[in-house]
Amino acid sequence: MTALHIALLGYGTVGKGVYKTIQTHQEKLKRIFRKEVKVVAILVKNIEKHHTLDSDVLLTDDFNKIITLEQLDVVIDAIVGQEPSFTYLQQAMNRGCHVITANKEMFAYHGTQLKQIAKEKGVTLGFEATVAGGIPIIQTLRQLLNVNNIQKVQGILNGTSNFILTKMREDGCPFETALKLAQEKGYAEADPTNDIEGYDAFYKAVILSELAFGENPNWEESIRQGIQSITPEQIELFSALGYRFKHVASMEKTEKGIVCSVKPVLVNETHPFYQIEGVQNAVSIDGDIVGNISLQGPGAGMLPTASAIIEDLVYINKHSFSPIFLDEQNGLSVKVSKIYWAMAGDAAVENIPSHIQIIDRPNPNVLIVEASWEEICDIQWPNTYFYQVLGKVLTENTLVSS
């Protein structure tokens, strides 16, 4: 029986999960591919750390030994950072290998180029694992794009920051305490910058944006705010009004291009993200035919991420697809929907400029207003803060939607 020959770049959390899943699901994979699915080589940085591998697997720290293997069908990338991952995947596709990556940072920066090479070489490029781990968001978007124009995509795309916000609310603890707990549980890195400052979510937003709208958001004009400045007092204030903080990435096609933001927002129980707690991720998509659909599930971890990679592997067999290119697709542009903000603090209640419409005053210290991002940024009073409210705003007599 011939075999499908796979090289695995990286043998950390994700790499080990993929290796293990290929072994535990070998019979199923054999039925799909009609041949054995074999990891023939693994690339690592420090070989000494990995001495327990099967002896028939080539374990190496030299990519040249992998790319020159006589038989190689698929290269799976589970290493960290833009380089050398980008260079290795180009080499693999140029050799005619199908490629699957979990590396979101590399893919956010170089995905467009890799898609182009895949198209030219007629190979498959899978990247399901780069966004929201076990949630099949990439395949879902591909499927929807057959007929729908996508108008808006929003997501809780970073489980670490969602865990921290959940803990702060449940335990009433400060940010630093919740972060320490996330680190103890292995959800946050020793250097948590990427997660808590929104870089990780932004990379994923870029990947989703290019798939959904066929274009990248303008990186310079995009908004990226982390969760570090949220205090237990703010959480308590808005919890009493029925709101929860969520760290949300939003991508919307507008007349000005793709508007992308990653920032803390407020949602109430009418919004699908209200119930997304702990390390869970969620994605909500607005399509012109389907309306709104939401998916939720594990956003990271060894097996959920391996599941996404193996799904990409199976897709190679089913479709031997060329990636979807949306260059000329999706001419639709929508007007930015109304934006509502919850404002609180010393001056907020007294000094609202007349062009900003007040929607509600749920308590003496909090206002709900309608304003654009620029208008709200113009307000720079000391001790005043504001957060966008997603979804429906519950006012005394009415229900308004953003």
Give the residue numbers annotated as catalytic, written as ranges: 204
Size of the site for ligand NAP (CB under 6 A): 23
DSSP conformation letters of 48-101: GG---S-TTSEEES-HHHHHT-S---EEEE---SSTTHHHHHHHHHHTT-EEEE
Which string of x and - marks every residue 234-273 that binds ligand NAP (by CB under 6 A)?
A: ----------------------------------------
* 8 Å CB contact between 280 and 96: no
Query: Nearer to ligand NAP by C-beta: 34 or 49?
Result: 49
Which string of x and - marks every residue 9-38 that binds ligand NAP (by CB under 6 A)?
A: -xxxxxx-----------------------
Query: Nearer to ligand NAP by C-beta: 9 or 259?
Result: 9
Which string of x and - marks every residue 41-60 that binds ligand NAP (by CB under 6 A)?
A: --xxxx--x-----------
Q: In which residue are the tokens 């399509």 written? A: 287
Q: Residue 221 and residue 200: Cα distance in Å, rounded?
A: 17
Residue nearest to ligand NAP as judged by C-beta position: 12
Rounded to a whole number of angstroms, the minimum distance from the CB of residue 329 to ligand NAP is 27
Distances (CA, A) of 133 to 100, 160, 226, 390: 14, 13, 21, 24
Determine which residue in the list 38, 104, 121, 167 makes contact with ligand NAP, applying CB under 6 A.
104
Rounded to a whole number of angstroms, the minimum distance from the CB of residue 88 to ligand NAP is 8
Q: Residue 143 and residue 103: Cα distance in Å, rounded?
A: 23
The answer to the question of residue 129 lying near ligand NAP (CB under 6 A) is: yes
Determine which residue in the list 287, 301, 323, 362 makes contact with ligand NAP, applying CB under 6 A.
301
User: Which residue, among 14, 3, 1, has the nearest Cα to 42 in the 3D structure?
Assistant: 14
Ranges within 59-98 binding ligand NAP (CB under 6 A):
78-80, 84
Q: Residue 173 and residue 151: Cα distance in Å, rounded?
A: 37
- The DSSP code for 378 is H
The answer to the question of residue 300 lying near ligand NAP (CB under 6 A) is: yes
- The DSSP code for 130 is G
Could you give the residue ranges of the DSSP H alpha helices within 159-216?
Answer: 159-171, 175-184, 193-196, 199-213
Interaction site with ligand NAP (CB under 6 A): 10-15, 43-46, 49, 78-80, 84, 102-104, 129, 133, 300-301, 305
